[in-house]
Amino acid sequence: DAGVTQSPTHLIKTRGQHVTLRCSPISGHKSVSWYQQVLGQGPQFIFQYYEKEERGRGNFPDRFSARQFPNYSSELNVNALLLGDSALYLCASSLGQWDYEQYFGPGTRLTVT
C-alpha cells in the first residue's frame, strides 16, 4: 500500500510569494495533520483536518491556511512568505480523528529567499 505522499519534494520561493503544498493520505485515512519542522527543531503542529473540517489549529498566523478535499487529500497554503517560513512541512494521516498512530509523509522542503 502507498504511504502518505507529498508534493512537491522541494520548493524555492521568494519573500512575499504564495505557496501551496499538497498531501495525499494513506488510502482509507480520513484525518490529515500538518506540521512545520524548522531545521534543528521538532515538528510544530499547524492544522488538523478530519472529514473536511478543521479540527485544530496551532499557533500560526492567518497567512497559513489549509483545506481537505472529498477524497481526503489536503492542501496547505502560505501567503506572503517570510524568510522564517523556510522549513520542512510534514503531513501526517490517520484513520480517524483520534487514532493514536499518525503516519508521516516524507515532507516538502520549502526555502524562502
Partner 1 sequence: AQTVTQSQPEMSVQEAETVTLSCTYDTSESDYYLFWYKQPPSRQMILVIRQEAYKQQNATENRFSVNFQKAAKSFSLKISDSQLGDAAMYFCAYRTLTGANSKLTFGKGITLSVRP
Could you say whether residue 72 binds partner 1 (CB under 8 A)?
A: no
Output 18 or 58, the one with its CB closest to partner 1: 58
**Strand 10-13 with 108-112, pairing:** parallel
Q: How far apart are the C-alpha atoms of 51 and 48, rounded to whole Å?
A: 10
Rounded to the nearest whole angstrom, what is the least distance from the CB of residue 57 to partner 1 in the complex? 8
Output 14 or 98, the one with its CB closest to partner 1: 98
Q: How far apart are the C-alpha atoms of 67 and 49, rounded to whole Å?
A: 7
Half-sphere CA count of 106, side-chain side, radius 13 A: 8
Site of interaction with partner 1 (CB under 8 A): 3, 31, 33, 35, 40-45, 48, 55-56, 58, 88, 90, 92, 94, 97-107
